[in-house]
C-alpha cells in the first residue's frame, strides 16, 4: 500500500473540504480560500494546491488563471 505524505496545512484543509463538501465548497476551493483556511501566503497556498493535485488528492476544475478551482478527488 502506498503512503502519501501531506503536511499539517494540507491535512487541515482536506479535512475541512471533506467535512463541508456539500455546502461551503460546492464549487471547489481556490488559492485564496486555501490561503485563508491554512493561514499561509498566496505562494504557499498555490504550492500546496499543486502538490495536492500531483498526489491525487485534488483535481483541477475547468477554468484557469485566478479562477482556478480544485475539488476533492474521491475514489
Domain residue limits, the chain:
8-72
Q: What percent of the chain lies above the pLDDT cut of 70? A: 93
State yes or no: pLDDT of 20 exceeds 90. Answer: no
For residue 70, the cross-strand partners are 29, 60
CA–CA distances in Å: residue 34 to residues 2, 30, 73: 26, 6, 16
Q: Does domain 8-72 have CATH number 1.10.3720.10?
A: no
Distance CA 3, CA 46 (A): 23
Rounded to two decimals, what is the model's pTM?
0.86
pLDDT computed for residue 1 by the predictor: 42
Distance CA 4, CA 68 (A): 24
Amino acid at each position: 500500500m502506498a503512503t502519501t505524505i501531506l503536511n499539517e496545512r494540507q491535512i487541515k484543509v482536506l479535512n475541512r473540504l471533506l467535512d463541508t463538501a456539500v455546502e461551503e465548497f460546492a464549487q471547489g476551493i481556490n488559492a485564496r480560500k486555501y490561503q485563508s483556511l491554512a493561514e499561509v501566503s498566496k505562494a504557499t497556498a498555490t504550492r500546496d494546491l499543486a502538490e495536492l493535485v500531483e498526489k491525487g488528492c485534488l483535481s483541477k476544475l475547468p477554468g484557469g488563471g485566478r479562477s482556478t478551482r480544485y475539488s476533492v478527488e474521491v475514489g
